[in-house]
Amino acid sequence: MTEYDVLLADCPARTTLELISGSWMIVVLVGLAHGPQRYSDLQRRAGGITKKMLTQTLAKAVGSGLVVRPDRRGGAYALSALGDSLLVPLTALTTWAETHADELAEL
Amino acid sequence: MTEYDVLLADCPARTTLELISGSWMIVVLVGLAHGPQRYSDLQRRAGGITKKMLTQTLAKAVGSGLVVRPDRRGGAYALSALGDSLLVPLTALTTWAETHADELAEL
DNA sequence: CAGTATCCTATCGGATACTG
DNA sequence: CAGTATCCGATAGGATACTG
């Protein structure tokens, strides 16, 4: 196997990396970790995010299939099964960030 | 414990997320995974990266302490102990990306 | 409450050309 | 080989005001 390799320029996995590039996607996905939430609850949870970035980030997340809206016609946002599986490595990453934040040198 | 929470606006862990935001930092770090490498080897390895982005990304990586240059006075670039520890969650993420790339919907 | 619409700035990122 | 210097367009992201 090992069909894909993120080091290769034309690898589809690069698309995934671009999806979480920008600081907000990870935060929003982690914000949805403990269950479906409505827009304003999510905005409160993802500290510091503006409506613009929340809307934009959710649009990308829904568009890519990481997030769904159980009752369309607008309701809460929730992680899809795919989004939920992505949460595993993402949580490992945020845990690392929380643990080693103090060890990073200032730029 | 649990001093830091990436969901909080002023959390230092956010700095880490910003560090890997942009598509190239992850690719460069993974590119250094199997050992120290010189500039042009790394450019070849990180498929598609331009000199500009490689230089810029390496500068951020070195500045934050994730990457070091064993023999300063210019030589190869290598992961620091910190960078190496970050590689663990990063590899989990890229593996996810490689495994689930085909399941993501087109935007 | 849940967005949409503007405006504006800073950074990302590619292309290209140049230097020691 | 290992960068630096420019120029350029596209995107990220914040602030603010407006809508149903």
Indicate whether B27 pLDDT > 90.
yes
Beta-carbon separation of B66 and A104 below 8 A: yes
Domains and CATH numbers, chain B: 12-105 (1.10.10.10)
**A48 Cβ within 7 A of any nucleic strand D atom:** yes
As a whole-number percent, the residues of chain A with pLDDT over 70 amount to: 98
State the average pLDDT over residues A74-89: 96
- Predicted local confidence at residue B2, as pLDDT: 67
Question: For all residues of chain A together, what is the average pLDDT?
Answer: 95
State the average pLDDT over residues B71-78: 86
- Predicted local confidence at residue A106, as pLDDT: 80
Here the tokens at position A32 are: 């949805």
Q: Reduced to 3 states, what is the DSSP secondary structure of residue A45?
A: helix
Closest CA to A107 of B78, B66, B43: B66
For residues B51 and B73, the model is more confident at B51
Q: Reduced to 3 states, what is the DSSP secondary structure of residue A66?
A: coil
The string of DSSP letters for A75-91 reads --BEE-HHHHHHHHHHH
On whether the CB atoms of residues B75 and B38 are closer than 8 A, the answer is yes
Q: Reduced to 3 states, what is the DSSP secondary structure of residue B69?
A: coil
- C-alpha span between A107 and B9 (Å, rounded): 19
Q: What's the Å distance between residue A25 CA and nucleotide D20 C1'?
A: 28
How far, CA to CA in Å, does A6 sit from each of A1, A22, B29, B56, B91? 14, 18, 11, 20, 10
- C-alpha span between A93 and A87 (Å, rounded): 10
- Predicted local confidence at residue B77, as pLDDT: 98
- C-alpha span between B33 and B89 (Å, rounded): 12
- Predicted local confidence at residue A16, as pLDDT: 95
pTM above 0.85, yes or no: yes
Here the tokens at position B91 are: 């590899």
- Tell me the chain B residues in contact with residue A98 when contact means C-beta distances shorter than 8 Å: 2-6, 11, 13
Strand partners, B67: B79
Quick one: which residue's CA is nearest to D5's C1'?
B52
State the average pLDDT over residues B47-72: 96
Residues 61-90 of B with CB under 7 A from strand D: 74
For A8-57, write each residue's pLDDT tens digit. 999 999 999 999 999 999 999 999 999 999 999 999 999 999 999 999 99
Beta-carbon separation of A13 and B47 below 8 A: no
Beta-carbon separation of A7 and B31 below 8 A: yes
**B40 Cβ within 7 A of any nucleic strand D atom:** yes
State the average pLDDT over residues B3-28: 96
- Predicted local confidence at residue A74, as pLDDT: 78
Beta-carbon separation of A21 and B22 below 8 A: yes
Structure confidence at residue B71 as a pLDDT band (50, 70, 90): confident
Here the tokens at position A25 are: 């996607």
State the average pLDDT over residues A72-101: 95
On whether the CB atoms of residues A5 and B98 are closer than 8 A, the answer is yes
